[in-house]
Amino acid sequence: MVANPTGTTAEAAAEEKAGRGERLFALLQRHGALVVLVLVVAVAAFAFDRFLTFRNLENIVAQSAFLGLIAVGMTFVIISKGIDLSVGSLLALGGVLAAFSVQVSGALALVVPVLACGAIGLLNGVLIAKAKMAPFIVTLAALLGVRGLVLAIAGERTIPISDAPVFTWFGRGDVLGIEVPIFIMILAFAVGALVLNRTSYGQAIFAIGGGEDAAQLMGVAVDRTKIIAYTVSGALAGLAGALLAARLSAGQPVVGAAWELDAIAAVVVGGTLLTGGYGTMSGSLIGVLLLGVLQNLINQVGTLSSYTQQMASGAFLIVVVTIQIYLTRRRTL
């Protein structure tokens, strides 16, 4: 069906046999997002004077960092043929919990959101793996329930964060002139790529996505692998929420609506298949950056309403997934 992540030599041989057009499609499917990103940046650099400044680019990457953290977890989940719709609500929960616990200590403000959201991710994972419930319905219920929980904890009010210089440093401080969230995102993607490509856990994720029954028969600990994936996805969403709260100096209960869609879009744009079994961490990073650049351009143009943006992101998702489906179809023929 799709490329076997372990058999790079077999894959190379197969590609050599394939025609030139076939190879082009394979290349597009894998690096299409990179090509689009380069094109968009090139066009933007000509169209807007302020686009290609260090400050603007740094800003784009720093603001993408929060979606980036979520996309790392989402990549694991989607490669395992799952989906996690709860990340947007967990982001809000993480932010609100951080804003409350920072009043006790700055360290707690990072630990509590990660643990709490990780626990909800664990619950998602157990229901999906052990109770064999469909991932989208479990995480859809979590989307709804966690948002309710956030509003129950915080009401509809924003919880301000003050006098916490150490904690807010994680959200908007800088090291060597580069913002801290950027380092955190790069670290997350690096670790994610390492785990995905160089560990038995990563192989287990690919195996499950390729075929759960086969993976089970091969001796892969299917349940445990899935549970860990959803736990990590939840924990990363909590971390992203805490860092976003640190950046904004506030925990906002309404933040994160439709972020699950952006995260899925970023991962899919990056070439990871929604049908599971194939995907890359670097692709997801490029997908996140592409969404960040597009958002930045929308802001630069400045005349598009948020409603038009919603329409555009819906259409964008359909176009990308459609193209991906046709490219993979060509590839597998």
- Cα 310 from chain centre: 19
Q: Is the CB of 40 or the CB of 153 nearer to other proteins?
A: 153
- For residue 188, the minimal CB distance to other proteins (Å) is 25
Per the CB < 8 A criterion, the answer to whether 98 and 245 are in contact is yes
- Cα 314 from chain centre: 17
The residues near 143 (Cβ < 8 Å, ≥ 6 apart) are 85, 86, 88, 89, 260
Q: Is the CB of 70 or the CB of 239 nearer to other proteins?
A: 70
* Beta strand pairing call for 250-251 and 178-179: unpaired
Is residue 174 within a helix (H) or strand (E), and if so which, with residue range?
A: strand 174-175
- For residue 54, the minimal CB distance to other proteins (Å) is 33
Residue 31 to residue 269: CA distance in whole angstroms: 10
- For residue 144, the minimal CB distance to other proteins (Å) is 5
- Residues lying near other proteins in the complex (CB under 8 A) are found at 83, 127, 131-134, 136-138, 140-142, 144-145, 147-149, 151-152, 216, 258, 261, 264, 274-275, 305-315, 317-318, 321-322, 325-326, 329
Q: Is the CB of 51 or the CB of 100 nearer to other proteins?
A: 100
- For residue 68, the minimal CB distance to other proteins (Å) is 20
* Beta strand pairing call for 174-175 and 250-251: unpaired
Q: Is the CB of 103 or the CB of 310 nearer to other proteins?
A: 310
Strand stretches in 216-319, DSSP E: 250-251
- For residue 326, the minimal CB distance to other proteins (Å) is 8
Query: Could you give the dihedral angle defined by the CA atoms of residues 116, 117, 119 and 120, in that order, rounded to the nearest 10 degrees?
Result: 130
Q: DSSP characters for 24-44?
A: HHHHHHHHHHHHHHHHHHHHH
- For residue 316, the minimal CB distance to other proteins (Å) is 8
- For residue 216, the minimal CB distance to other proteins (Å) is 6
Which tokens hold the place of 188? 């997350």
The amino acid occupying position 210 is G
Q: Is the CB of 244 or the CB of 264 nearer to other proteins?
A: 264
Between the two ends of the chain, the Cα-to-Cα distance in Å is 9
Q: Is the CB of 158 or the CB of 168 nearer to other proteins?
A: 158
Is residue 20 within a helix (H) or strand (E), and if so which, with residue range?
A: helix 20-47
Q: Is the CB of 199 or the CB of 322 nearer to other proteins?
A: 322
